[in-house]
Structure 1
Amino acid sequence: MGRLKKILIPSLGLVLAFWFYSARDTFKPEMLRGKRVIVTGASTGIGEQMAYHLARMGSHVLLTARTEARLQNVVERCLELGAASARYISGSMASPSLPEEVLREAENTWGGLDMLILNHIGQSSFTFFSGDVGHVRTLMETNFVSYVALATAALPLLKESEGSIVVVSSIAGKIAGPFTAPYSATKFALDGFFSSLRQELIIDKVNVSITLCILGYINTESAVRAVSHVIPQTPAPKEECALEIIRAGALRRRELHYPSPAVGSMLLLRSLAPELLDSLLLSSYRLENVRRT
């Protein structure tokens, strides 16, 4: 118990200090007015809601996703909400040519870029790992390699504007749990790559911020459909989540944890008592509803 106190008290002190200094940052919607922002995975869910928030703030938005019809509807709604401009490019982010096409559109239309929000994901089941290595490769291409490709293509423009990269990730990229092996691998990869890249930008004195967004269970259609039969907890609202992501990017924060109490508690418990965290995670699932593939 004494050893636990020695670990717990300094850790809580660090958490409180981080909260105190973060709380002093002031976000104002005007910070995004006129900013040039790319949002990937913007046809539904969190990406769609981010597009609407940015539109209300008066940003220029360039949206990408696979489904053109949905993107058209989102762009129309963005213009109604007050976006400075709204455009889209449809296609799969697994395509090697799409990142260059998206950045070329931003440069030709706006002459630059202020913020890149990477949010798209590939399809993955919440179930036992089936041994399908091909699926892992495909998912890694969409969830990780395309993020690297887009960020790499965007860096010259972001260096000019001293802009921001916002990477939408997951608690599954910090804490490994069951039934998400391929998905979790891609999210751990994002953490490793972009955390390392952040340090290199600091060393080179490049004023481009990287914000890694660690999200819990959010009430997007795809997430609820995938895990509601196994996870009984109430998901957090995607509208609020989308706003918090934009806020964190605008304030150039290192990481966002949302929903904050749940994700923050899990990360703290992982560092102090990982075996206890494993037990709590397993006990929170409806394991009888999980099928082997």
Structure 2
Amino acid sequence: MGRLKKILIPSLGLVLAFWFYSARDTFKPEMLRGKRVIVTGASTGIGEQMAYHLARMGSHVLLTARTEARLQNVVRRCLELGAASARFVSGTMEDTAFAQHVVREAQAVLGGLDMLILNHVGASYFGFFDGDVEHVRKLLEINFLSYVAMTTSALPMLKESEGSIVVVSSMAGKVGFPFTVPYSATKFALDGFFSSLRQEFAIQSINVSITLCILGFIDTERAVRAAAEVLAERPAPRDECALEILKGAALRRRELYYRYSSTRLPLLLRDCAAELLDYLVRSRYRLPATPGAPRPQH
């Protein structure tokens, strides 16, 4: 009975919280009209879809990713959709100097910044950890240190505008998932850094919001290519995911879970039934007795 209470009471609290926050969901597209926004990882996937949503809402967007040709197409489409302005800067986030350069470009061409959306991610693999420490280091530089560098550089502008930081993370940054060891490590680092930074903002009365986005399996090209064959669930649509991220950012929410049922609800088990959660995580995979060679991952 005691164990049952440990599960039921948090569940009831979560249902009430979900009802409360849903009732307060008063997002309107006008909230983002005219806003000056950086979107990283904007050439494909969720980042590309966020750029299009922002364009429809009349935002000024500065987009960045590695591939210039793709960025040119995304910028062109943003202008067709009604963006107040759309520009791009291409380069790799392996170098934190480039991350800082993007922020300086925003200062030069936008005159300030209202929202920093950190969405880029380095290429990893989907398979058993292969012991490659150098790969972990490189992935930390792209998935974590560049986020820190951009945030640090953008903070003066965000303080002035009382703006927002949006960090696109994953369930793999809240729960240990198999076959994503390097990727998961970087996402856990994001949670620790930005959750601690939010606390310091509160202590210093800095009115800059931080929204940490906890995503499940989304139908981006990379994620589907890496995991669709082994994950026993259907991926959620990236355009809907992108819109939910922007709604959460505009409403200055602390954390956003998408999709809610497959991300937030399982986290109730972490403290009261951790082994059950581990089992449920493993049960999501359709695997042979010995998984094959690692495959590229998002």
TM over 0.5: same fold?
Answer: yes
Is 1:261 matched with 2:261?
yes
Shift of 1:112: 0.7
Query: Who is 2:215 aligned against?
Result: 215
Match of 1:110 in 2: 110
**In structure 1, C-alpha distance between the alignment counterparts of 2:15 and 2:282, rounded to whole Å:** 29
Structure 1 residue 130: deviation in Å? 0.4
Q: Matches of 2:193 and 2:16 in 1, distance apart? A: 27
SS in 2 for 1:42: coil
Moved more, 267-276 or 201-210: 267-276
Aligned to 1:142: 142
- 1:94 deviates by 1.4
Q: Look up the SS of the partner of 1:167 in the other structure.
A: strand
C-alpha distance in 2 between matches for 1:96 and 1:149: 6
Shift in Å at residue 100 of structure 1? Answer: 1.9
Query: Residue 37 of structure 2: SS of its match in structure 1?
Result: strand
1:61 aligns to 2:56 (yes or no)? no
Aligned-partner residue type, residue 282 of structure 1:
R
User: Residues 156-206 of structure 1: CA distance to partner in whole angstroms, max 9, x if unpaired?
Assistant: 000000000000000000000111110000000000000000000000000
**Structure-to-structure mapping, 1:1-293, within 5 angstroms:** 2-23=1-22, 24-288=24-288, 290-292=291-293
Identity of aligned residues (%): 66
Larger deviation, residues 105-114 vs 250-259 = 105-114
Moved more, 12-21 or 173-182: 12-21
* Cα pair 1:128 1:291 within 8 Å, conserved: no
TM-score (norm 1): 0.97
* 1:123-166 residue CA offsets vs partner (Å, 9 max, x unmatched): 01110000000000000000000000001101000000000000
Deviations 1:48-102 (A, max 9, x none): 0000000000000000000000000000000000000000000001112112211
Deviation string for 1:16-69 (max 9, x for gaps)? Answer: 232133111300000000000000000000000000000000000000000000
Alpha-carbon distance in structure 2 between the residues aligned to 1:285 and 1:16:
27
Residue identity in the other structure for 2:203: I
TM-score, length basis structure 2: 0.95
- 227-236 or 67-76, larger mean C-alpha shift: 227-236
The residue type paired with residue 102 of structure 1 is V
Instruction: Give CA-to-partner distance per residue, 1:197-225, whole Å, 9 cap, x none.
Output: 00000000000000000000000000000
244-253 or 106-115: bigger deviation: 106-115
5+ residue gaps in structure 2? Answer: none
| Offset, 1:292 | 4.8
Task: Name stretches of at least 5 consecutive residues in structure 1 with no aligned partner.
Answer: none
Answer with 89-98 or 281-290: which moved more: 281-290
* C-alpha separation in 2, matches of 1:154 and 1:290: 43
SS of residue paired to 1:26: coil
- Give aligned pairs, total: 292
Query: For the residues of structure 2 that align with 1:52 and 1:292, how far apart are their CA atoms?
Result: 36
8 Å CA contact 2:7, 2:269 repeated in 1: no
Q: Which amino acid aligns with 2:228?
A: S
2: CA distance, partners of 1:212 / 1:105 = 25
Q: Measure, in 2, the Cα distance between the counterparts of 1:244 and 1:107.
A: 27
Cα distance, 1:105 vs. partner? 1.1
8 Å contact from structure 2 (residues 7, 268) kept in 1: no
Does the residue aligned with 1:247 lie in a helix, a strand or coil? helix
Distance in 1, Cα, partners of 2:101 & 2:66: 14
